[in-house]
Chain A
Amino acid sequence: MGKTTATASIGAALAAEGKRVAVVDMDIGLRNLDVVMGLENRIVFNVVDAVKGKCKIQQAAIKDRRIENLYLIPASQSDNKNVLIPEDMVRFGEKIRLEFDYVLMDCPAGIERGFENSVAAADEAVVICMPEVSSVRDADRVIGLLYARDITPKLVVNRIIPDMVARGEMLSHEDIVDVLSIDLLGLVPMDDHVVISTNTGMPLIMQKDSKAGKAFRRIAMRLNGNSDIPIEIPQGQGRFWKRIGTKFGLGK
């Protein structure tokens, strides 16, 4: 789906706007946010240590190499997701929210304990969906579970291939918003820079000609209260972004 990519990029973009940001890898046992951010060799403590009180939050938070005010709290690799329970996370949430402007949790795939733990402490949620029928189905399920916990999620459609959408070979974001009917936060195109970023540790949003990076920056700005920034629809064939109204997907 791109949850980890989105967490790293939106976190970086919010920090670049001057916010104090923590990104937390909740994918316990399968950590990879540290790799995506190029911080894997600095890990001493992890989120399980911080939640269980074995270390202070500041000790578990790794400062990013390139972006000021961006911190990673990595997952633990050795534990099982069940070492944490939602109640632990609620308490952890109370503490960590005092130290950062934004705390982004990278939710693991699935709707089991890892999801429960992430949601327990969350005020808001962003659902990442790919333009594929099965992905839309999964997103819909997750949206239902979020609403059941009184969280109103927002939607990011990731890995859009504009030419395929134009040829009718890929679901358009309109089709997706029709089914999911939640507020659209942004549209992110398929972009090779994502892989380059993961492999070099250079944040996506700092790569000059990354369309995905730009899209994530705009998503971050919208999350940060600039809701009047228009949603841009990825265009193929070197054409530029097309503007549409900001009301997109609202009130549906």
Chain B
Amino acid sequence: METTDQNNAVDAPVRLKGMGDGLCVSLDPDQPSDFIRSELVRLFQPLKHLAINARVVLDFGESEGDDALVDELGAFLKETFGVGSVNKSAKRRTASEDLLRQRDMDRSWHHYRSDVLMLTGRVRSGQKVTARRHLLLLGDVNPGGEVVSGGDILIMGSLAGTAIAGQPEGSDAIVLALDFRPTQIQIGPVVAAGLPPSRQGFPEYAHMEGGNIVVENYMEANPFGRMPWPEVR
């Protein structure tokens, strides 16, 4: 859906994509206005007559983006390329997000892939399991055993050995175990050893908070329960 060429690279500050019968422009409102205008010219020029009377939505991503900027850029686009309407996208759910969610529903998430190494069994002392990204183990990690991943580590059993998640830099990774009593946890570059003994009897998980590793009751914290829409991790 997203056309990506050198003019419209994913990390470019101003990007354009087709969206239903309209056009969506993603931009960073903190860029200087002259720069944004020149980028718009670069992106709209090749569209020629396709831009005429088009509905344009400006998506400021995470930033607020003030209305004056919308008005200014709107006037500029109407004048220069004859577009129809120019509006700011709804903050929480942009029109493009609508489309993405519709697609998720239609294809039942079949169009996603996630890199998970799923294993069953027991990781014994002296053994080391390394997953490129996420690791899901239906089993246990014994004292002296080690599990390492580029992403999350989920142990459906007891974790009594060492778990090293989010290698090398992924500080948003979590380590979850039904019975959480590891000898050592590492998330990204941060190490936590000598964790207090778990209260046991419920699943706990470790994650990074303000540069520290924090362990919490997973069901109570429910870290992903409030996400509006299922996402690929």
Which residues in A have some Cβ–Cβ distance to B below 8 Å? 133, 136-138, 140-141, 143-145, 147, 179, 181
Pair A179/B160 contact, Cβ less than 8 Å: yes
Determine whether B170 belongs to the interface, using a CB cutoff of 8 Å to chain A: no
Mark interface residues in B90-126 (1 if CB within 8 Å of A CB, else 0): 0000000000000000000000000000000010111
Pair B125/A137 contact, Cβ less than 8 Å: yes
Quote the shortest CB–CB distance from A67 to chain B (angstroms).
36
Determine whether B143 belongs to the interface, using a CB cutoff of 8 Å to chain A: yes
Which residues in B have some Cβ–Cβ distance to A below 8 Å? 122, 124-127, 140, 142-145, 160
CA distance A148 to B27 in the complex (A): 55
List, in ascending order, chain B residues with CB within 8 A of A136's CB: 143
CA distance A183 to B127 in the complex (A): 20
List, in ascending order, chain A residues with CB within 8 A of B142's CB: 140, 179
Quote the shortest CB–CB distance from B197 to chain A (angstroms).
14
CA distance A177 to B55 in the complex (A): 68
CA distance A140 to B145 in the complex (A): 9
Contact among A137, A145, A147 with B144 in the assembled complex (CB-CB below 8 Å): A137
Given A179-B160, A181-B122, A137-B143 contact (CB < 8 Å): yes
Given A137-B143, A137-B144, A179-B143, A144-B160 contact (CB < 8 Å): no
List, in ascending order, chain A residues with CB within 8 A of B127's CB: 144
CA distance A116 to B156 in the complex (A): 33
CA distance A143 to B160 in the complex (A): 17
Nearest 9 pairs of A and B residues by beta carbon: A144-B124, A140-B125, A141-B126, A141-B125, A140-B124, A137-B125, A137-B144, A144-B127, A140-B142
Pair B126/A144 contact, Cβ less than 8 Å: yes
Quote the shortest CB–CB distance from A153 to chain B (angstroms).
11
CA distance A140 to B125 in the complex (A): 5
CA distance A1 to B126 in the complex (A): 19
Instruction: Given A144-B127, A179-B142, output 10 extra A-B contacts at Cβ < 8 Å.
Output: A137-B125, A138-B125, A140-B125, A140-B126, A140-B144, A140-B145, A141-B124, A143-B124, A147-B124, A181-B140
